[in-house]
Amino acid sequence: MQFHIITFGCQMNAADSTWLSRALTAMGWEEVSEEEAQVFILNTCSVREKPEQKVYSQLGRLRPLVEQHPGGFVAVGGCVAQQVGCEFWKRFPFVRLVFGTDGISNAPQAMARLAQAPDLRISLLDFSESYLERETPEYKTKAPAQAFVNIMQGCDNFCAYCIVPYVRGRQKSRSSQEILAECRTLAEAGTREITLLGQNVNSYGLDKSGDGTSFAELLHQVAAIDGIDRLRFTTSHPKDIAPEVIRAFGELPQLCPYLHLPLQSGSDKILASMGRKYDTARYLDIVDQLRKARPDIALSTDIIVGFPGETEDDFSRTMEMLERVRYEGSYSFKYNDRPGVRSVRMAGKVPEDVKSERLERFQTAQNAITEEIHKSVEGSRAEVILERPTRKPVEGLPGWTGHDLYNRVINVPVGGQIASADLTGTLAHVTIARGRRHFLIANRMEEL
C-alpha cells in the first residue's frame, strides 16, 4: 500500500509520525506524495481551535482523493482523535481507523488488517497504565543527523487552559534503559544530535512508571554516549526544573545553550489562576541561575494573551517580562476555550479584538528583540548542522539551512565544488554575515 502522512501539532506528534512512517515502511508499505497515496494518515492536534478546525477541512479536501481508490481509507490519530473518537466515522465514512497516543503502537497492524478488509473499522483509544514501548524498526540507511527520543507520555499538570492531559493521558515515564538503548542505536547509526521529548521533561521519573532515574541523571547518561555531540530537551515546566538540571548547562558540553521555558503570562495573578504553580520572581530566579551556569544561553518561551481575567495591567506585565528576559523567540497565542478545561467556566473572558490587539503588540516587541539579537551576532562564528536545501537561493547561490547551538536558523550559501553535493547532516563551521528577523545568513561556504 502507498501512504501519506499529514502532521499537526507539537514535536511529540512529529516524532510519532516519524515512527509510524518507519513502522509502515518496515511492513513493506511505501511513503508517497498525496496524489499517489491510497491511505492517508492525519496526525492531529487539539491544543487550540485552529489546528482542530484544520482536521475537518483536511478531511473534506481528502475525500475525493480517497474515494478514487477502492481500498483507500483515512486514519485519524493524535489528540483530536483521542478527543473526538468514533464520532469521526459518522461524518466521514472513509475514516476507518482512529488512534490515540497510546493506540499508535498498534496502528501499523491495524492498518494492515484494514487494507485486507474493506468493511472493517478499528478504534485504538485506550490509555495504558504504563509507558508503551513501540517496536523500533532498524534503520536501513543512515540515521538522520538529528533525532527526537520520547522519554515520557502525557501530563499531570492540568493547567487551567490546557487540553493536553485529557488527550495525552497521565504522565508515564519511559524506562531509562530503553531511552539509553534507543539513543545508543541512533548514535551508532550516525545521529549526532538528540532532542529528548515530553510534555514536561523536568518531572521525568517522578510518576509511578519512573525507575528511580532523575531527569538530570538521564541528561548526564545520554550526554556520555559516544557520538552524541548535541543534546537538547523540550518542553520544560518552570515549576519542576531541578538545580541539577540548571547546573547541567554548565557541566555538559553536549547540552546545547538553548532552553524553551514557557512563561505563559507575566502577571502573578494570571499565573495563579492558570494553575502554573510559579510566580514571576521564581521564574526570573531560574533565568538568573541558568545564565550563571551558562552565560550565553538562549531562551525562548510560550505566551498566552487574553486569559480570562487578564486586564491591561496584567498584560503590561507580560510585556515587561519580555523586555527583562529578552527571549530569542517565542510562540504566542490568543487564549482559546477548549472542551472540558477549567478556564472555560472562568469569569472575565477577554473580547476577541482586545486579544488580537495584545497579541499584535507582543509579537511586534518580540520581533524587534529577535532582530536585535540576530544583528548582534553578525561577524561571530557558528556551528551549523545542515538539514536540507533552502527553497530559494541564498545570496544568489544554492542554499542549505540548519540550526546552530542556540537553535538559531542559519542559511548558508554554498558555492564551488560542493554546490551540488548532498550536505545533509554535515557539521559546518561558518561566520555569520547578516542577521535577519527570522534567520541568519552565513558567509559563502565552498569547502567542508
Question: For residues 164 and 259, which CB has a smaller minimum distance to ligand F3S in the complex?
Answer: 164
* The only residue of 167, 382, 412, 441 in contact with ligand F3S, by rule CB under 6 A: 167
Shortest CB 237 distance to ligand SF4, Å = 5
Amino acid at 51: P
Amino acid occupying residue 24 = L
Are 95 and 76 spatial neighbours (Cβ–Cβ below 8 Å)? yes
Bridge partners (DSSP) of residue 30 are: 2
Amino acid at site 418: I
Q: Pick between residue 254 and residue 264 the one whose CB is nearest to ligand F3S.
A: 264
Q: Tell me: does residue 164 bind ligand SF4 (CB under 6 A).
A: yes
Among 4, 9, 293, 414, binds ligand F3S (CB under 6 A): 9
Residues 15-74 touching ligand F3S, rule: CB under 6 A, are 45-47
- Residues near 113 by Cβ (< 8 Å), separated by ≥ 6? 120, 122
Residue from 1, 20, 151, 162 in contact with ligand SF4 (CB under 6 A): 162
Q: Which does 81 bind (CB under 5 to 8 A by kind): ligand SAH, ligand SF4, ligand F3S, none?
A: none
For position 48 contacting ligand SF4 by CB under 6 A, the verdict is: no
The full DSSP string for 380-409 is -EEEEEEEEE-SS-BTTB-EEEEE-TT--E
User: HEC states along 218-239?
Assistant: HHHHHHCCCCCCEEEEECCCHH
- Does position 158 bind ligand SF4 by CB under 6 A? yes
Binding partner of residue 79 among ligand SF4, ligand F3S, ligand SAH, none, CB cut-off 5 to 8 Å per kind: ligand F3S
Stretch that binds ligand SF4, among 58-66, 160-168, 173-181, 371-379 (CB under 6 A): 160-168
Q: Does 160 bind ligand SF4 (CB under 6 A)?
A: no
Does 165 sit near ligand SF4 (CB under 6 A)? yes
Among 407, 418, 415, 411, residue whose Cα is nearest residue 434: 411
Give the list of residues 6+ apart from residue 188 with CB closer than 8 angstroms, or none.
227
Number of residues that bind ligand F3S (CB under 6 A): 12
Q: Which is nearest to 325 in space by CA: 285, 358, 360?
A: 285
Q: How far is the CB of 13 from ligand F3S (least distance, A)?
A: 4
Question: To the nearest whole angstrom, how small is the minimum distance from the Cβ of residue 306 to ligand SAH?
Answer: 9
Straight-line distance from the first to the last Cα atom of the chain, in angstroms, rounded to the nearest whole number: 40
Among 37, 95, 149, 164, which residue sits at the site for ligand F3S (rule: CB under 6 A)? 164
User: What does 158 interact with, of ligand SF4, ligand F3S, ligand SAH, none (CB < 5 to 8 A by kind)?
Assistant: ligand SF4
CA 263 to chain centre: 17
In whole angstroms, how close is the CB of 262 to ligand SAH at the nearest point? 4
263: cell is: 512563561
By CB under 6 A, residue 168 contacts ligand F3S: yes
Q: Which of 216, 212, 219, 234 is nearest to 183 (CA)?
A: 219
In whole angstroms, how far apart are CA 149 and each of 63, 178, 194? 34, 10, 7
The minimum distance between CB 225 and ligand SAH, in angstroms, equals: 26
Selection from ligand SF4, ligand F3S, ligand SAH, none that 336 binds (CB < 5 to 8 A by kind) is: ligand SAH
In angstroms, what is the minimal distance from the CB of 274 to ligand SF4? 8
Name the grid cell of 223: 550526554
155 lines the binding site for ligand SF4 (CB under 6 A) = yes
List the one residue out of 217, 133, 219, 124 whose CA is nearest residue 172: 133
DSSP string, 46-87: -SSHHHHHHHHHHHHHHHHHHHTSTT-EEEEEEHHHHHHTTH
Check if the beta carbon of residue 191 is closer than 8 Å to that of residue 170. no
Query: Coil, helix or strand for 98?
Result: strand
Q: Minimum Å distance from CB 161 to ligand SAH?
A: 4
Applying CB under 6 A, the residues found at the interface with ligand SAH are 47-48, 161-162, 164, 199-200, 235, 237, 262, 264, 302, 304, 333, 335-336, 338
Residues within the interface to ligand F3S (CB under 6 A)? 9-10, 12-13, 45-47, 78-79, 164, 167-168
Residues within the interface to ligand SF4 (CB under 6 A)? 155, 157-159, 162, 164-165, 199-200, 237
